[in-house]
Amino acid sequence: MRRPRPQPPPAGPPVELLIEAVGGEGDGVAAGPVYVPFALPGERVRAAGAGERRALVEVLEASPERIAPPCPHFFACGGCALQHWAHAPYLAWKLERLRATLARQRIETELLAPFAAQPATRRRLALHARKGTAAAARLGYKARRSWDLVEIEVCPIANPRLQAAIPALKRLAAPLFEHPKSAPTLHVTLTDSGLDVEISGVERRSGGLSADARVLLAERAAAADVARVTLDGEVAYLARSPQVRLGPAVVSLPPGGFLQATAGAEAAMAGFVAEAAAGAGRIADLYCGVGTFTFRLAQIAPVHAADVAADAIRALTSALAGAPGLKDIAAEARDLVRRPVLAAELKRVDVAVLDPPRAGAAEQTAELARSAVGRVVGVSCNPATFARDARTLVEAGFRLTRVLPVDQFLWSPHIELVGVFER
């Protein structure tokens, strides 16, 4: 089998290794442990280097689960780690990791059939830009374990409209390099009204972009028919408001506003959350964002929605006028770490939905554990912090009855979930 590209192996004599498993970052694991990227369980490989992390030189005996990666940038690009693994064992590995993470907190539950994202469905990308020519920047992802840029032409995980926009985004990024320390990242979201581009990493100490650069940026955004461009939240170009439909509501996204990475995952998660909340008399939607679940929940019962991001709460509130027929939604901007919704405030709530960031929701979970809430629906992008917070609820008398695994970051080691807790 031909040796992967493009980086040469680090110093050290090549050794033969038997790969026993795949580790948490997607690398093959041999005894030691020794970690070898792009290697699969059962394979004999030749690897070079020293220490725990080696470079794959050659696959001597390939696993029957090995497939040809669909992306020409694989092996160099750090965006995907597991394109070389057949889908069924890849997904089974993710589910087993999720089960093991819960088991470390002594939690057993039913894992339902997972939602699995398909190629060409990602609607959010973070593309790193580096200086190229006056006409076009270099644009792509970081290399594996490196700050080097892998310039991309295609991206199989991305929605075709995002992939088709890559040349225009390279032209858009070209005026961003007036300061030598600028290292821009384009956070690109495909919305119902077009591309929304939030740019970070442009050096601001020197005064930010000049007037000429801003004019050129706007001209190139207009030529690409981009809906909006913002620089660290400040509008630099606006043709129309970037909007998305969340259940019965149409929401105008704030700059950099959070949206699930794929529309399919959002629909699966929201449907599961709404099913779990059926029959509720009053619902709390905590870490609600712009209302991913809020509007759907308000079709069931009145909702108290809270999130630390004031701009997200404003977007949610502004969308209410265009979504008649919902139960009452009371939305507030509130830091749920420093000022969680207290057990006493939850006395009329019978279902609480919790969708925190990766750090989890230890403070808010403690209040839910002290409350009289009968059902908690936890949405998480980090199984480890979910399991930690789940232990708090279990010790307070809840039981984790079922979990929906969500694989929306295709070919990555990342797995998400929605879990239902009952008293």
Q: In the prediction, which pLDDT does 1 show?
A: 38
DSSP 166-193: HHHHHHHHGGG-SSTT---EEEEEEETT
**pLDDT digits over 141-191, tens only?**
999 878 899 999 899 999 999 999 999 999 999 999 999 889 999 999 999
Burial 254-284, CB ≥16 within 10 A → b, else e = bbbbbbbbbbbbbebbbebbbebbeebebbb
**Alpha-carbon span 106 to 119, nearest angstrom:** 35
Candidates 3.40.630.30, 3.40.50.150, 1.20.1050.10, 3.40.190.10; CATH matching 92-117+261-422: 3.40.50.150
**SS3 at position 54:** coil
pTM: 0.92
**Alpha-carbon span 106 to 100, nearest angstrom:** 9
Question: Does the annotation count 288 as an active-site position?
Answer: no
Q: Where are the domains of the chain?
A: 15-66, 92-117+261-422, 124-243
Q: What is the dihedral of CA 344, 348, 353, 359, to 10 degrees?
A: 0
The residue type found at 124 is R
Candidates 2.40.50.140, 2.60.120.260, 3.40.50.150, 3.50.50.60; CATH matching 15-66: 2.40.50.140
**SS3 at position 290:** coil
Q: Which of 80, 155, 288, 381 is catalytic?
A: 381
Q: Are 277 and 256 in contact (CB under 8 A)?
A: no
Do the domains spanning 15-66 and 92-117+261-422 agree at the CATH topology level?
no
Q: Are 320 and 326 in contact (CB under 8 A)?
A: yes
DSSP letter assigned to residue 284: E
**SS3 at position 87:** helix
Q: Which residue has the tokens 């403690």?
A: 366
Q: In this structure, what token pair is assigned to residue 343?
A: 């057990």
Q: Are 116 and 401 in contact (CB under 8 A)?
A: no
Counting Cβ atoms within 10 Å, is residue 147 exposed (0-12), middle (13-18) or buried (19+)? exposed
The residue type found at 148 is D
Q: In this structure, what token pair is assigned to residue 296?
A: 């759907």
DSSP 215-283: HHHHHHHHHTT-SEEEETTEEEEESS--EEEETTEEEEPPTT----SBHHHHHHHHHHHHHHTTT-SSE
| CA-wise closest residue to 5 among 72, 50, 61, 60 | 72
Give Cα separations from 96 to 41, 101, 102, 186 (angstroms). Answer: 14, 9, 10, 34
**Alpha-carbon span 377 to 296, nearest angstrom:** 14
DSSP letter assigned to residue 37: T
Q: Are 291 and 311 in contact (CB under 8 A)?
A: no
Q: Are 152 and 165 in contact (CB under 8 A)?
A: no
Q: In the prediction, which pLDDT does 8 show?
A: 52
Compute how many other C-beta atoms are within 10 angstroms of the C-beta atom of residue 341: 21
Q: In the prediction, which pLDDT does 11 show?
A: 62
| CA-wise closest residue to 110 among 421, 423, 350 | 421
Q: Are 295 and 247 in contact (CB under 8 A)?
A: yes
Tally: H helices and E strands in the chain: 9, 24
Q: In the prediction, which pLDDT does 398 show?
A: 98
**pLDDT digits over 259-294, tens only?**
999 999 999 999 999 999 999 999 999 999 999 999
First to last CA, the chain: 55
Q: In the prediction, which pLDDT does 146 show?
A: 82
| CA-wise closest residue to 115 among 293, 265, 270 | 265
DSSP letter assigned to residue 158: B
**Architecture label for domain 124-243:** Beta Barrel (2.40)
Whether the upstream peptide bond of residue 156 has omega within 30° of 0, thus cis, is no
**Alpha-carbon span 31 to 142, nearest angstrom:** 29
Per-residue pLDDT of the chain (423 residues; tens, 9 = 90+): 333 444 554 566 899 999 999 999 999 999 999 999 999 999 999 999 988 999 999 999 999 999 999 999 999 999 999 999 999 999 999 999 999 999 999 999 999 999 999 999 999 999 999 999 999 999 999 998 788 999 998 999 999 999 999 999 999 999 999 998 899 999 999 999 999 999 999 988 777 899 999 999 999 999 999 999 999 999 999 999 999 999 999 999 999 899 999 999 999 999 999 999 999 999 999 999 999 999 999 999 999 999 999 999 999 999 999 998 999 999 999 999 999 999 999 999 999 999 999 999 999 999 999 999 999 999 999 999 999 999 999 999 999 999 999 999 999 999 999 999 999
